[in-house]
């Protein structure tokens, strides 16, 4: 079986489908929009949040879900 690399388009789609857990609240969000390192995060219900890539990298607050 040969290994395949993902095209840039597939990489962008996968990045947009990323899911994060906001540890203090326990709410799970998915990235709905990413523009220039700024992310619009949506929960299943309720208001959206905005976080930069730097904020999402803070493992004390955010956890990337598989």
Over residues 22-56, the pLDDT tens digits come to 999 999 999 988 899 999 999 988 999 999 999 99
CATH class of 8-65: mainly beta
Q: Quick one: CA dihedral 24, 38, 19, 46, positive or negative?
A: positive
Which helix (H) or strand (E) segment holds residue 64: the answer is strand 62-65
What's the Cα-to-Cα distance from 37 to each of 9, 16, 57, rounded to whole Å? 17, 12, 12
Three-class SS of residue 55? Answer: helix
- Considering the entire predicted model, what is its pTM? 0.73
Domain boundaries, the chain: 8-65
The CB-based long-range contact list for 28-37 (8 Å cut-off, 24+ gap) reads: 28/65
Distance CA 24, CA 21 (A): 9
Higher per-residue confidence, 7 vs 64: 64
């Amino acid at each position: 079986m040969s290994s395949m690399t993902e095209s840039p388009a597939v990489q962008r789609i996968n990045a947009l489908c990323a899911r994060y857990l906001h540890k203090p609240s326990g709410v799970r969000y998915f990235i709905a929009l990413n523009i220039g390192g700024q992310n619009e995060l949506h929960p299943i219900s309720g208001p959206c949040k905005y976080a930069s890539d730097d904020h999402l990298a803070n493992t004390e607050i955010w956890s990337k879900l598989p």
